[in-house]
A and B are shown apart, each in its own frame.
Chain A
Amino acid sequence: AQSVTQLDSQVPVFEEAPVELRCNYSSSVSVYLFWYVQYPNQGLQLLLKYLSGSTLVKGINGFEAEFNKSQTSFHLRKPSVHISDTAEYFCAVIPSGGYQKVTFGTGTKLQVIP
């Protein structure tokens, strides 16, 4: 079984400041890792994913994440946030084999302050 922990339920940050949203996971098998963003009244949009290869992955809207296997982390970062980044962000994992059962974190609300 897998579990995903997003320790920060809310993260306020000033516009143009950097931000890091934390995600830790546990799993007995290898996994694929994802970040999704959910804007108000919308569905979940794929922000970026790690399947294999380079541990630093770049996504849409200037976001990037680094997979750290030893620390079982997949933190999301952006060097300079905009008002439009205000949304909820979900970390998720899928086992790399078998049926694609997704485990989501509880989400982090990013509030960008003008």
Chain B
Amino acid sequence: EAGVAQSPRYKIIEKRQSVAFWCNPISGHATLYWYQQILGQGPKLLIQFQNNGVVDDSQLPKDRFSAERLKGVDSTLKIQPAKLEDSAVYLCASSPGNTIYFGEGSWLTVV
């Protein structure tokens, strides 16, 4: 079974530029998550989708971050404009109901 796919794996951008990350969840998983993990910390939930509806985006900085999940499958997370403090790994995860599976993450460095 294919796992959660994410791209790009690594990205370096200058502050105030924009970046987009893509996630393809495991087939059939209704729930999709985006997490932000800053070096040395645990994952922090940015947004949770159930199919293509948003369940929780309370910790998403909506002035600069946006996410969508078209047709309840793939998802993109966008940051515009990026700040230095956005340097982190962005983890996508999906779940069929009671277990969450993570992708390898997208490493973002903002300089």
User: Which A residues are closer than 8 A to B by beta carbons?
Assistant: 32, 34, 36, 41-46, 49, 51, 90, 92, 94, 96, 99-102, 104-107
Chain B: interface secondary structure? strand
CB of B110 closer than 8 Å to a CB of A? no
Q: Give the residues in chain A near B109, CB-CB below 8 Å.
A: none
Inter-chain residue pair count (beta carbon < 8 A): 57
Q: Give Cα A92 to B103, complex, Å.
A: 17
Chain B: interface residue total (CB-CB under 8 A): 25
Q: Which chain B residue shows the least CB distance to A42?
A: B104
Partner of B33, one of A42, A43, A45, A102: A102
Instruction: Tell which of B50, B100, B107 touches A102, judged by Cβ atoms closer than 8 Å.
Output: B100
Chain B, 56-111, CB within 8 A of any chain A CB: 56, 89, 91, 93, 95, 97-105, 107
